[in-house]
A and B are shown apart, each in its own frame.
Chain A
């Protein structure tokens, strides 16, 4: 370094910290590393907001246009499944938060326990979702593949009064297009989440995240909570449209 700032370089910086193995070489210290990781995760969640935002925007427009179709479409979903899934996800968010807490307090066993519970709850969510999708397939509600507006013309089982004229019944396709796109993308995020969690679990069993290096667990927690938040909005928007009718 022939022509550098060496003259002005701080004498500190390299001296006194004890280089834990997980401190990456380009960070000055752990605080900086952890701050960078958290901030990066938040920025990634920002992109996720906009990713789902495009679909929420479409939802808002079509709900205004085709309100009766959205009501009928919503009525054809199982509210018990939606509520159960919301409950599962919220509990899994809680268990994940507890997992992060366990990592923060460096307790390996509780961390592993909370991770397993979170994984099971997430898997339970996907099972319920799969059941619902199967149901919709049987009922011919999948746009493009086997859609038929029949049920919305004659009235659904739960809401026999939901009789739409043909043109509006056809518009339930828009509702179901958005339903499958939104829940599909959400489920994809859940699957990615569970896979990541499984990976983290293996590392955590070896004691990776209870030695003060909690950023991966913390960031995964942020991701998991974000996926929960998306569902918190999907639930009223898709399942709870005008249930009283």
Chain B
């Protein structure tokens, strides 16, 4: 199979003498760094750690659901396990996944800046994440928490005796870590762009991070105050959500979902940015309808704030209000559809190759399309009544979050791995991992759609025996999926030492980040770049390469 991969001559190639990785040595130079690339690496390590903890929880869930009775785990243990899975995966993996690692690494480079606007706040953001993570680990160590990641009142405030307060505060702190990341991105994108880098020359990766950052900055504080109120209600007993004191528990749902619905866009938008870059690079073609894709990100961010009550259609919100929220939900589906079709159209008359990031991106396209379309099932009022709170919704958001975001995350990690480390990952085994992940994913989560329509409720430790066959399929798929996630961990680690030297631009991509050495210098650019071309301008790249060859010749 043909490839666009162009590596320097391995016999003479060396990693650059000076780069962000080896400018300083020692633990202190990492833990007190202001360099966005080093902070991205700190995030990458901590996020991977939490991903595998959350993954272990998922494995336990799937093992327990292999049989209809609650035999491997007792009901209360099961509840703690799925709560830990939810909280860790949402707040400690998905929300920071692409933005805090790849985004942190690339946003300043892509806009042509030396660093994010506030390096110290960037570092603070990581420390907050670590503090929150340690709190969460403490919660798990000292007995867990069983509220579900949704912290539903009055269950969480009055009816549980687990570590709800600590878990709530952990999420609160993690929320501030996310706010600081988003704030830094917005300021950087507005204020730190290199000369000539106009808004419409920005890569779509930057646009989607901009949109996600808006959601982080405006949505997260509402979650923060909601959790503060839950904690106050639990500790001293104020009565904002407590029905026995006159409060309305539905208000908690409103405030919680005011953040937590936009949060799914926080999770998916950066992934969409990765997909734009990858598809463009591997079809050697500018993204079809750049403006449409850019503005659809912003549209998702704006509309994302208007749809939260679709999580509450059966809860007893007013029927009029349900109508409004359902209508708006249908509208927010449109920008996602626009993106999908634009990515598909980008392939048209391209020159397509199938390296690992592209395979993950194809996986993203398929799975995210299914995830998005099943979202329409759930946004459609009458259908939502039957499907909500069942495995259908579990399958739906896993298709979006795992099939979408995680695929995009892996696509991004592979795509920028040579830039981050200066070395290539092994192509063959990584293609295999991409295929395994896709197959395992479909096998795991597709049966759950059927289970959901059959009516199997979510968060059940035990279930009626007629659901077993599909659950066994799902658990079998999960073990395949597990292999699919372990493989990259192994071969990426291997490649740190044994991978081929990548050179500055192995993919012949157009982004600013590919025009500098891999791994980059601490200050990214030796001289402030002046941007004269649009994003994805392959002709500019071809001319530039030709000129260089001529100069050298």
Say whether B276 faces chain A, with CB atoms less than 8 Å apart: no
Say whether B521 faces chain A, with CB atoms less than 8 Å apart: yes
Instruction: Give residues in A with beta carbon < 8 Å to B.
Output: 1-10, 13-14, 24-28, 32, 35-36, 39-40, 43-44, 46-55, 57-58, 61-62, 65-66, 69, 142-145, 170-171, 173-174, 176-178, 180-181, 185
Given contacts A3-B517, A55-B225, contact A177 B247 (CB under 8 A): yes
The CA-CA distance from A54 to B121 in the complex, in Å, is: 25
Q: Smallest CB–CB gap between A14 and chain B, Å?
A: 8
Say whether B516 faces chain A, with CB atoms less than 8 Å apart: yes
Interfacial chain A residues near B258, Cβ < 8 Å: 54
Say whether B238 faces chain A, with CB atoms less than 8 Å apart: yes
The CA-CA distance from A196 to B43 in the complex, in Å, is: 28
Q: Check B525–A143 contact: CB distance below 8 A.
A: no
Produce 1/0 per residue, B250-291, CB < 8 A to A. 010011001000000000000000000000000000000000
Say whether B355 faces chain A, with CB atoms less than 8 Å apart: no
Interfacial chain B residues near A24, Cβ < 8 Å: 119
Which of B48-56, B83-91, B187-195, B314-322 is the contact stretch? B187-195
Say whether B222 faces chain A, with CB atoms less than 8 Å apart: yes
3 cross-chain pairs, A with B, having the tightest CB-CB distances, nearest first: A144-B237, A9-B527, A177-B238
The CA-CA distance from A53 to B255 in the complex, in Å, is: 10
Q: Check B217–A47 contact: CB distance below 8 A.
A: yes
Which of B114, B247, B526, B528 has a CB less than 8 Å from the CB of A1?
Answer: B526
Which of B66-74, B226-234, B397-405, B489-497 is the contact stretch? B226-234
Residue of B nearest to A52 (CB): B225
Say whether B426 faces chain A, with CB atoms less than 8 Å apart: no
Given contacts A9-B530, A25-B114, contact A3 B228 (CB under 8 A): no
Given contacts A3-B517, A170-B245, contact A143 B532 (CB under 8 A): no
Q: Check B245–A40 contact: CB distance below 8 A.
A: no
Q: Check B119–A26 contact: CB distance below 8 A.
A: yes
Say whether B246 faces chain A, with CB atoms less than 8 Å apart: yes
Produce 1/0 per residue, B516-553, CB < 8 A to A. 11000101011111101000000000000001100000
Interfacial chain B residues near A8, Cβ < 8 Å: 529-530, 532
Interfacial chain A residues near B99, Cβ < 8 Å: none
Q: Check A40–B183 contact: CB distance below 8 A.
A: yes
Q: Check A39–B190 contact: CB distance below 8 A.
A: yes
The CA-CA distance from A202 to B77 in the complex, in Å, is: 52
Interfacial chain A residues near B179, Cβ < 8 Å: 47
9 contacts between A and B (CB under 8 A): A1-B521, A25-B523, A26-B114, A47-B217, A47-B220, A55-B229, A144-B233, A173-B238, A178-B240
Say whether B128 faces chain A, with CB atoms less than 8 Å apart: no
Q: Check A47–B221 contact: CB distance below 8 A.
A: yes
Which of A25, A40, A53, A181 has a CB less than 8 Å from the CB of B117?
Answer: A40
Q: Check B187–A50 contact: CB distance below 8 A.
A: no
Say whether B369 faces chain A, with CB atoms less than 8 Å apart: no
Interfacial chain A residues near B526, Cβ < 8 Å: 1, 4, 6, 9
The CA-CA distance from A57 to B258 in the complex, in Å, is: 12
Given contacts A54-B222, A177-B238, contact A10 B504 (CB under 8 A): no
Chain B count of residues within 8 A CB distance of the other chain? 62
Within 8 A of A (CB), among B88-144: 108, 113-119, 121
Given contacts A40-B183, A51-B221, contact A5 B527 (CB under 8 A): yes
Interfacial chain A residues near B236, Cβ < 8 Å: 142-145
Q: Check B113–A143 contact: CB distance below 8 A.
A: no
Q: Smallest CB–CB gap between A173 and chain B, Å?
A: 5
Given contacts A25-B523, A144-B238, A145-B237, contact A36 B117 (CB under 8 A): yes
**Interface-central residue, B179, B225, B525, by most chain A CB under 10 Å:** B225
Given contacts A10-B530, A36-B192, A177-B247, contact A2 B504 (CB under 8 A): yes
The CA-CA distance from A178 to B233 in the complex, in Å, is: 11
For the A-B complex with A8-B532, A35-B191, A144-B233 known, give 16 more contacts whose Cβ atoms are closer than 8 Å. Answer: A1-B525, A4-B526, A5-B529, A7-B547, A9-B526, A13-B527, A26-B108, A47-B183, A47-B221, A49-B221, A50-B225, A51-B222, A54-B221, A142-B236, A145-B237, A174-B246
Interfacial chain B residues near A36, Cβ < 8 Å: 117-118, 187-188, 191-192
The CA-CA distance from A43 to B179 in the complex, in Å, is: 10
Say whether B219 faces chain A, with CB atoms less than 8 Å apart: yes
Q: Smallest CB–CB gap between B495 and chain A, Å?
A: 22
Produce 1/0 per residue, B454-488, CB < 8 A to A. 00000000000000000000000000000000000
Say whether B224 faces chain A, with CB atoms less than 8 Å apart: yes
Q: Check A66–B187 contact: CB distance below 8 A.
A: no
Say whether B239 faces chain A, with CB atoms less than 8 Å apart: yes
The CA-CA distance from A48 to B225 in the complex, in Å, is: 10
Q: Smallest CB–CB gap between A140 and chain B, Å?
A: 14
Within 8 A of A (CB), among B369-384: none
The CA-CA distance from A44 to B180 in the complex, in Å, is: 8
The CA-CA distance from A190 to B224 in the complex, in Å, is: 18
Given contacts A32-B192, A46-B218, A55-B225, contact A170 B525 (CB under 8 A): no
Residue of A nearest to B516 (CB): A4
The CA-CA distance from A55 to B517 in the complex, in Å, is: 50
Residue of A nearest to B247 (CB): A174
Say whether B248 faces chain A, with CB atoms less than 8 Å apart: yes
The CA-CA distance from A46 to B190 in the complex, in Å, is: 16
Given contacts A25-B523, A173-B239, contact A10 B528 (CB under 8 A): yes
The CA-CA distance from A180 to B232 in the complex, in Å, is: 10
Given contacts A40-B117, A173-B246, A181-B240, contact A51 B224 (CB under 8 A): yes
Interfacial chain B residues near A142, Cβ < 8 Å: 236
Q: Check B218–A57 contact: CB distance below 8 A.
A: no
The CA-CA distance from A55 to B530 in the complex, in Å, is: 47
The CA-CA distance from A235 to B247 in the complex, in Å, is: 23
Interfacial chain A residues near B528, Cβ < 8 Å: 9-10, 13, 28
Residue of B nearest to A48 (CB): B221
Interfacial chain B residues near A51, Cβ < 8 Å: 221-222, 224-225
Q: Check A58–B238 contact: CB distance below 8 A.
A: no
The CA-CA distance from A3 to B218 in the complex, in Å, is: 40
Say whether B152 faces chain A, with CB atoms less than 8 Å apart: no
Interfacial chain B residues near A5, Cβ < 8 Å: 512, 515, 525, 527, 529-530
Say whether B505 faces chain A, with CB atoms less than 8 Å apart: yes
Q: Check A143–B187 contact: CB distance below 8 A.
A: no
Q: Check B237–A26 contact: CB distance below 8 A.
A: no
Given contacts A47-B179, A47-B220, contact A3 B530 (CB under 8 A): no
Q: Smallest CB–CB gap between A39 and chain B, Å?
A: 5
Interfacial chain B residues near A32, Cβ < 8 Å: 191-192
The CA-CA distance from A134 to B280 in the complex, in Å, is: 64
Say whether B395 faces chain A, with CB atoms less than 8 Å apart: no
The CA-CA distance from A144 to B255 in the complex, in Å, is: 22
Given contacts A10-B527, A32-B192, A181-B232, contact A54 B255 (CB under 8 A): yes
The CA-CA distance from A57 to B259 in the complex, in Å, is: 14
Residue of B nearest to A44 (CB): B183
Interfacial chain A residues near B190, Cβ < 8 Å: 39
The CA-CA distance from A113 to B184 in the complex, in Å, is: 33
Given contacts A35-B191, A50-B219, A51-B221, contact A4 B117 (CB under 8 A): no
Which of B218, B221, B239, B530 has a CB less than 8 Å from the CB of A144?
Answer: B239
The CA-CA distance from A172 to B220 in the complex, in Å, is: 29
